[in-house]
Structure 1
Amino acid sequence: MSKVIIAWFRQDLRIRDNPVLAEVLRRDAAVLPVYIHAPEEDGAWAPGAASRWWLYHALAGLAGDLEALGLPLVIRRGSPEEALTSIVASMRGAGHPVDSVACARVYEPDRVQHDEQVREVLDEVGVGWWQGNASLLIEPEHVCNKSGDPFRVFTPFWKHLRGLPPEPPVAVDADRLEAPDHVPDSLALDDLELLPTRSWDDGIAAAWDPSPAGARTVLEDFVEERVTAYKRCRDVPGVNGTSRLSPYLHSGQVGPRQVWAAVHAAGGADNDGGFTFLSEVAWREFAYHLLHHFPRTTDEPMYEKYRDFPWAPDPQALQAWQKGRTGYPFVDAGMRQLWKTGWMHNRVRMVAASFLVKHLLQPWQDGARWFWDTLVDADLASNTMGWQWVAGSGADAAPYFRIFNPFGQGEKFDPDGDYVREFVPELAGLPDKYIHRPWEAPDEVLAKAGVVLGETYPEPIIEHRAGRQRALDALEATRQQAG
């Protein structure tokens, strides 16, 4: 083939359901797969440590899949404009001019702005530009309310989304993909320095299989074995009741169209569990809808009245929360699960986040940054929406006066204490009655369990009622200031 198209992989690290590769085949061109590591492109939201760990393994899996098809993955580092124009020049020098660069669309504000610069530079050197949707069910600008405005409430968004015809996964006949005769120089994957220099990732490695096969297995196991029970089990962190697809979706090792189609093919959409799960997929879509229309919300509250909220920044309180040493077992279990495995159960994410911004009055942006660095599924759209929801400052947010009771949530969703015992083992010997309220246990019970409050496990960093009242007082002050 004389025509060459650069397939620029980003957050679409897969071959199946990849619209970029489908476009290459449609144009009957040779494909040159390229990955460019450009953390500077993400501005203040460059990938965190856990995300980089996942990215390394996802790229290794993609490179392996491409190699099996006879396609090398060219890896570069630095400015996308410079990397792409260098590759174009190399191909031209070898007599294989590049027709165009094809890539999946991205939605992070800094990346969107950067893409315009890349497009302009490619145009200057006579190379075309094509983008497709690999990350969402529906592009954000194609979903609007009856007034033509963005949705700010999830329920009508979900109702509208359900009324749209679902797009099937994109068909890619991988056997038809052909490499060009010339392949430019490439870095080795290790040259990107994505893995930690000291070993802190053993727990993450034990918890996940970040390979293409791992992505397929997780999806297949969920739709075949757990989707029907999803509504009943999704809030119980001590059981395997969620899909655990989020990091694969973020990296693009599996696409939402594939997930949507798999649930329907298994008949999951016809029961409460499958319907509830699909609504969670729609929450992800809603997050991207909000990020697209309100890009400043990554760092600023959506509603102006929360701009001057009276936070009480306290580095020691923030660190106690980060380390899972708040004295509230359900919160601490979540934070330790996060540190150990790079992931936290969604119910516990809400409770832990609420505790930080409400009981402790720490800025939600500090929590968002910590999650960003420690989550293998750190996704700017979902992370932003989640923290603004908890803080009460974003679209469809929980009212600020909704303050989760950290031990009440534990008793409701971890009644036997299995989750706490797994991640806060120093409390494992306590009876179920006290596992979420160790400060109420009699001295003899604590002694028998080997618990010394303030030594082996901390006293609560703040009393629940005092923390709740302080949060309500801060809200009232904000309301009065807003008039």
Structure 2
Amino acid sequence: MTSIVWFRDDLRLADNPALRAAVDRGEPVIGLYVLDTSEKVRPLGGAARWWLHHSLADLGERLRERGGALVLRRGRAREVVPQVVQDAAASAVFWNRRYGGPAREMDTALKARLRDDGVEVASFAASLLFEPWTVRTGSGGHYAVFTPFWRACLHLPAPRAPLPEPREIVAPQTLPRSDALDDWALLPTNPDWAGGLRETWEPGEIAAHRRLDAFLADDVDDYDRARDEPAAGVTSGLSPRMRWGELSPHQVWHAAAASGKDTERFLSEIGWREFAWHTLFHAPDLHTENLRREFDAFPWPRPHPAALHAWQHGRTGIALVDAGMRELWHTGVMHNRVRMVAASFLIKNLLIDWRRGEEWFWDTLVDADEAANPFNWQWVAGSGADAAPYFRIFNPETQAQKFDPQHRYIDRWAPDWADVPPLVDLGDTRRAALAAYDEVKRSRA
């Protein structure tokens, strides 16, 4: 008999409870990854597809080194998984839990269907430090503000220790049919716009651990002091590693604790990630609907395609915004401080719906996930959990003076900034944004 491990956003061997359960069962193991084309599954953006290709290639190689195998299939997961179970004559299927609404519905239905067919099915906690249903307010609800949420998390039992990776994984003699990874065409070819991604990143589990070790050995010392300075280079670089599950939050948590360094500020960012996922668990339409429904009354003007295009391509004439948008296009990430500034400019100076910005980031970020991406956009817009007040409008010129006073970041990514005329007047558009937000306030009165 055979056990199947259904990999999703947990592309690693170490600290993978589903894989550990399958190996401990003592039967041959097949790894399965499904490129899900189900209607309710949000299609991956271009940068995410690039990362997925390389992370799957790494996972397949690491499984083969230990005697295992990775089967790739494309299609509706609710149909593909039972078919692979049948093809492999598998007696058990294991996976790590997901927390988005459609994913949970699919997993629940699949678990029931497979069990009806006599297949053992088990799911495990692997992607979050704290399961969403374990963190509750005193009245039994869920938290809408980060600080009390994280305080409540820290009063729960400490996150479990990471599991070691299996030394040996035995594959069955005969494997089910597998797609070829190249046939999925996840990599851009015509044109090939991924040169900057290749320069910047090395996806995969081993590279993820190298980055974690390097950050804790060096950059974390300056993290609290310089994390808001985009030219300082002290960000962790771990967000895509955690988004794809090449690292688990338990590994990051315990490595930080064992470092002997002051990692409280850094770990609070891991807490922010948890907060985003807990929010998505309770609001599965986070990327399309305002969490604070009173913001449905916001009077978005008619879309302005030219302004949106200028923002997307770093041609607004606002130096810090343009630098950030060009960094995003080249590297697939943007410094967090600059992300907030660029998002605020789109929403509150250009008066473009936050959903348009979220869609662009979804397509261009290598670390875009279904929780953090819309959660952070709604935070900036003022429509989300623990949101910035509606009147908080980041002034990109003031932000540049404070966090990039020597223009090191701006000159790197937007050296022609002085030659691009500003798209809008920051003062006039700020006043227009405040007037529009007043309409939201009046709608609540």
Normalised TM-score (structure 1): 0.89
Structure 2: state its 5+ residue gaps: none
2:238 alignment partner, one of 242, 245, 260: 245
Q: String of CA shifts for 1:340-377, please: whole Å, max 9, x gaps.
A: 11100000000000000001110000000000000000
Give the distance between the partners of 1:69 and 1:164, measured in 2 at CA. Answer: 36
Partner of 1:23: 21
Partner of 1:441: none
**Aligned positions of 1:371-450 closer than 5 A:** 371-427=361-417, 438=418
Partner of 1:87: 84
Counterpart check, 1:74 vs 2:71: yes
| Structure 2 SS opposite 1:131 | strand
Which letter does structure 2 place at the counterpart of 1:424? A
- 8 Å CA contact 1:324, 1:336 repeated in 2: yes
Partner of 1:14: 12
- 8 Å CA contact 2:16, 2:165 repeated in 1: no
Which letter does structure 2 place at the counterpart of 1:120? A
**Aligned positions of 1:273-422 closer than 5 A:** 274-312=263-301, 313-422=303-412
Give the distance between the partners of 1:58 and 1:34, measured in 2 at CA. Answer: 14
1:90 shift after superposition: 2.0
Structure 1: state its 5+ residue gaps: 93-97, 428-437, 439-456
Give the distance between the partners of 2:100 and 2:141, measured in 1 at CA. Answer: 20
Partner of 1:470: 432
Work out which structure has the larger RCO, using CA pairs closer than 8 Å and 6 or more positions apart in sequence.
2
Give the distance between the partners of 1:370 and 1:40, measured in 2 at CA. Answer: 22
Q: String of CA shifts for 1:279-338, please: whole Å, max 9, x gaps.
A: 000000000010001212221111121012011221111111101111100000000000
Structure number, greater radius of gyration = 1
- 8 Å CA contact 1:19, 1:170 repeated in 2: no
- Root-mean-square deviation (CA, aligned residues, Å) is 1.4
Give the distance between the partners of 2:165 and 2:7, measured in 1 at CA. Answer: 18
Q: String of CA shifts for 1:354-403, please: whole Å, max 9, x gaps.
A: 00000111000000000000000001110111011000011100001000
Give the distance between the partners of 2:256 and 2:156, measured in 1 at CA. Answer: 17
Which letter does structure 2 place at the counterpart of 1:136? L
| Structure 1 SS opposite 2:371 | helix
Give the distance between the partners of 1:132 and 1:109, measured in 2 at CA. Answer: 17
Partner of 2:96: 104
Which letter does structure 2 place at the counterpart of 1:61? D
1:143 alignment partner, one of 135, 139, 152: 135
Judged with a 3 Å threshold, the aligned counterparts in structure 2 of structure 1 residues 121 and 197 are, in CA distance, closer, same or farther, namely: farther
Give the distance between the partners of 2:110 and 2:133, measured in 1 at CA. Answer: 22
Partner of 1:449: none
Which letter does structure 2 place at the counterpart of 1:201? A
Q: String of CA shifts for 1:252-284, please: whole Å, max 9, x gaps.
A: 00010000011111012xx2xx11000000000
Give the distance between the partners of 2:355 and 2:250, measured in 1 at CA. Answer: 31
| Structure 2 SS opposite 1:12 | coil
Partner of 1:233: 226
1:4 shift after superposition: 1.8
Give the distance between the partners of 1:381 and 1:281, measured in 2 at CA. Answer: 13
- 8 Å CA contact 1:360, 1:467 repeated in 2: yes
Judged with a 3 Å threshold, the aligned counterparts in structure 2 of structure 1 residues 262 and 41 are, in CA distance, closer, same or farther, namely: farther
Counterpart check, 1:55 vs 2:48: no
Counterpart check, 1:171 vs 2:163: yes
- 8 Å CA contact 2:145, 2:386 repeated in 1: yes
Partner of 2:254: 261
Counterpart check, 1:197 vs 2:189: yes
1:162 shift after superposition: 1.4
Give the distance between the partners of 2:210 and 2:39, measured in 1 at CA. Answer: 32
Residue range with higher mean Cα deviation, 74-83 or 315-324:
74-83
Q: String of CA shifts for 1:66-99, please: whole Å, max 9, x gaps.
A: 010011111111022322222222223xxxxx22
| Structure 1 SS opposite 2:92 | strand
Equivalent pairs: percent with the same residue?
44
1:120 shift after superposition: 3.2
Which letter does structure 2 place at the counterpart of 1:305? E
Give the distance between the partners of 2:286 and 2:14, measured in 1 at CA. Answer: 33
| Structure 1 SS opposite 2:121 | strand
| Structure 2 SS opposite 1:102 | strand
Which letter does structure 2 place at the counterpart of 1:83? V
| Structure 2 SS opposite 1:380 | coil
Give the distance between the partners of 1:362 and 1:287, measured in 2 at CA. Answer: 23
1:4 alignment partner, one of 2, 5, 8: 2
1:28 shift after superposition: 2.8
Q: String of CA shifts for 1:196-248, please: whole Å, max 9, x gaps.
A: 12210001110111122211111010011111211111101112111010000
How many residues get paired? 443
1:176 shift after superposition: 4.0
| Structure 2 SS opposite 1:235 | coil
| Structure 1 SS opposite 2:389 | coil
- 8 Å CA contact 2:6, 2:32 repeated in 1: yes
| Structure 1 SS opposite 2:297 | coil
Judged with a 3 Å threshold, the aligned counterparts in structure 2 of structure 1 residues 410 and 173 are, in CA distance, closer, same or farther, namely: closer
Which letter does structure 2 place at the counterpart of 1:462? V
1:426 shift after superposition: 1.9
1:39 shift after superposition: 3.6
- 8 Å CA contact 1:41, 1:110 repeated in 2: no
| Structure 1 SS opposite 2:68 | coil
1:46 shift after superposition: 1.4
1:41 shift after superposition: 5.6
